[in-house]
Amino acid sequence: MEKESQLQPISESALSAPLSPLEIAGQAANRAAGKHIFRRYLSEKSVNSIKRHARDLELFAEYLIDGRIPLHHGADYQTNPNAWRGVTWGIVEGFGQWLLHEGYAISTVNARLSTVRIYALMAVKAGVIERQEGALIQTVKGFSRAGGQNVDERREQTRKRETTYVYKLEGAKKSVVVTRRSTKKATAAVINEQTAVLLKTPRNASPQAYRDALLMCILLDHGLRVSEVVQLTPASIKLNEKLFRFHRPKVKGTAHAWATHQLTEDTARIGAIYLNRFYPDLLKPDGALILATTRLLRNGEGGHLLGDGMNRVRLSERVAWLGRKIGVEKISAHDCRHYCATKMSRLGYGVDELMAWFGWTSAQTAMRYVTAVDIQKRTKG
């Protein structure tokens, strides 16, 4: 009791006392470590993990853009801690609900929420998310197996759980029965011929408008992935030969890693104007093909090409914006790829040709489009 009576509460003056050299050094060390925590985490991960996380975080940015939330600190949630400023547990909870509404599989929703929690925790350590908010974000969990089944029973099913078909490779003796379980987004924005024409038509005479038109030609006529578009350079388009050559990082090391397409009429026409009239000569031939631009004003001024290329998130955002301008909501680059594959299947391209054009390493993916077209023909009689 005598010892207890000697204990005194800490005074306000003690709490406001100057920090010791060790405390100052400790806080400085926290700030320095916070700046490098993302880089260190990525250095320890495999290439495939980094790619998967990149896609998860791009979807997180897409969700925010879809909600019309300005990304004042950028959309690079994988390497830039400041991008996480303002993220709350409610936003993360909303991301999970958005994924469900978009038709993603429960396992996919769980995986992407896990990715967001991991990077949000690093953002807490970097000092851009408050600790209390960070703790709440960590409580946003995915769905258990039973819980996921209950969710699936209640939500509208907009995707086939399984697709089964028989396919025989050219030269093979036996047919292969394939059962494919879908894990991708349920619904695609409907792009018809008229919509495609509008998207590929420059909205005005500015450099920005021709850049946008060329981007949509590449996506709609050639079906490139966004990861392929960001790597394009002026040298990728060979106007004199009417050829288009590009690299596919997703299938690096396979026979489809490099592709050469015959330029479509629209891509050749828009590409020639963009490269010869607007593209800076100093950036040829190795600069980014799809360049960022200055803001285009209502009076027609601006919209000039800058020296830096657009990243994957900004490209996706631009595609969605262009879609909204002509009345098509939630259009994505993958929707354009879907349109291109469907159109080529209707024109009679076979499985092997589709695999070469789109860089698919599995015949199953190409067969989905061929089968869908065959079913439509049978339905029409």
Q: CB-based contacts of 324: which residues, under 8 Å, 6+ apart?
A: 331
- Please write the tens of the pLDDT for every residue from 167-207: 444 455 665 554 444 444 445 567 899 999 999 999 999 99
For residues 329 and 323, give the distance between their C-alpha atoms in angstroms, rounded to a whole number: 6
For residue 4, tell me if it sits in a domain: no
Q: Is pLDDT of 369 > 90?
A: no
Q: What is the structure's pLDDT at 3? A: 47
What integer is the mean pLDDT of 311-322? 88
Q: Is pLDDT of 362 > 80?
A: no
Q: Is pLDDT of 246 > 50?
A: yes
Q: Are residues 359 and 224 in the same domain?
A: yes
- Cα–Cα distances in angstroms (integers) from residue 103 to residues 43, 161, 185, in the given order: 33, 11, 5
Q: Are residues 223 and 143 in the same domain?
A: no
CB 357 within 8 A of CB 344: yes
Q: What is the structure's pLDDT at 244? A: 94
Specify the pTM: 0.59
Q: Write down the mean pLDDT value for the chain.
A: 82
- Give me the amino acid identity at 349: Y
- Please write the tens of the pLDDT for every residue from 71-88: 777 778 888 888 899 999
Beta-carbon neighbour count of residue 330 at 10 Å?
Answer: 15
Q: What is the structure's pLDDT at 235? A: 96
For residue 170, tell me if it sits in a domain: no
Which one has a higher pLDDT value, 210 or 312?
A: 210
Which one has a higher pLDDT value, 323 or 186?
A: 323
- Which range of 79-93, 151-165, 276-290 scores highest in mean pLDDT? It is 276-290
Q: Are residues 142 and 207 in the same domain?
A: no
For residue 334, tell me if it sits in a domain: yes
For residue 56, tell me if it sits in a domain: yes
Q: CB-based contacts of 270: which residues, under 8 Å, 6+ apart?
A: 200, 202, 210, 213, 214, 217
Q: Is pLDDT of 36 > 90?
A: no
Domain that holds residue 217: 193-380
| Token reading at 118 | 């991991």
Q: Is pLDDT of 157 > 80?
A: no
Q: Are residues 370 and 238 in the same domain?
A: yes
Bridge-based pairing state of the strands 237-238 and 243-247? antiparallel
- Please write the tens of the pLDDT for every residue from 205-241: 999 999 999 999 999 999 999 889 999 999 999 999 9
Q: Are residues 125 and 200 in the same domain?
A: no
What's the total number of domains in the chain?
A: 2
How are strands ordered across the β-sheet holding 243-247?
A: 237-238, 243-247, 258-262
What integer is the mean pLDDT of 26-43? 77
CATH number, domain with residue 288:
1.10.443.10
CB 94 within 8 A of CB 140: no
Q: What is the structure's pLDDT at 8? A: 54
Q: Are residues 257 and 357 in the same domain?
A: yes
Q: What is the structure's pLDDT at 163? A: 45
Q: What is the structure's pLDDT at 67? A: 79
| Token reading at 12 | 């306000």
Q: Which one of 152, 168, 201 terminates a domain?
A: 152
Q: Are residues 114 and 40 in the same domain?
A: yes
- Please write the tens of the pLDDT for every residue from 53-64: 988 888 888 888
